[in-house]
């Protein structure tokens, strides 16, 4: 059964009208793997949420690729970034 209890903590109802052909399809798909048609529909929605999050990530990655001239990221680059972050953190703690 594919159910995420944390998502189901505060349930509310939503009525969805389906033509008989779709209602039958949902009922058949829900048999076995899911305990009910509601669980099947919730899983479809969760999958759509994951897909939308993946699309947002891909959009951000493309924006990053188009954001300017590329730089070489070396161990020295990361060490410099780490030092900058440590110093920024220290200066905030002093304030």
- Local confidence pLDDT in tens for the 95 residues of the chain: 454 555 557 999 999 999 999 999 999 999 989 999 999 999 999 999 999 999 999 999 999 989 999 889 999 999 999 999 999 999 888 77
The upper half-sphere exposure of residue 23, i.e. CA atoms within 13 Å in the direction of its Cβ, equals: 6
Q: For 3-34, b where at least 16 C-beta lie within 10 A, e where not — what string?
A: eeeeeeeeeeeeeeeeeeeeeeebeeebeeeb
Residue with tokens 């220290």: 90
pLDDT of res. 6 = 56
pLDDT of res. 32 = 84
pLDDT of res. 5 = 52
Choose among 57, 36, 35, 38: nearest CA to 46.
Answer: 38
pLDDT of res. 94 = 78
pLDDT of res. 24 = 96
Give, in order, the Cα–Cα distances in Å from 77 to each of 72, 83, 87.
8, 10, 16
pLDDT of res. 9 = 76
């Amino acid at each position: 059964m594919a159910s995420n209890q944390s998502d189901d903590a505060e349930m509310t109802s939503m009525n969805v009208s389906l033509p008989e052909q779709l209602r039958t399809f949902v009922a058949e798909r829900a048999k076995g793997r899911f305990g009910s048609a509601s669980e099947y529909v919730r899983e479809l929605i969760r999958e759509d949420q994951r897909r939308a999050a993946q699309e947002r990530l891909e959009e951000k990655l493309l924006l990053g690729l188009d954001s300017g001239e590329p730089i070489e990221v070396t161990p020295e680059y990361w060490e410099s970034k780490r030092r900058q972050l440590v110093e920024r953190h220290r200066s905030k703690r002093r304030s």
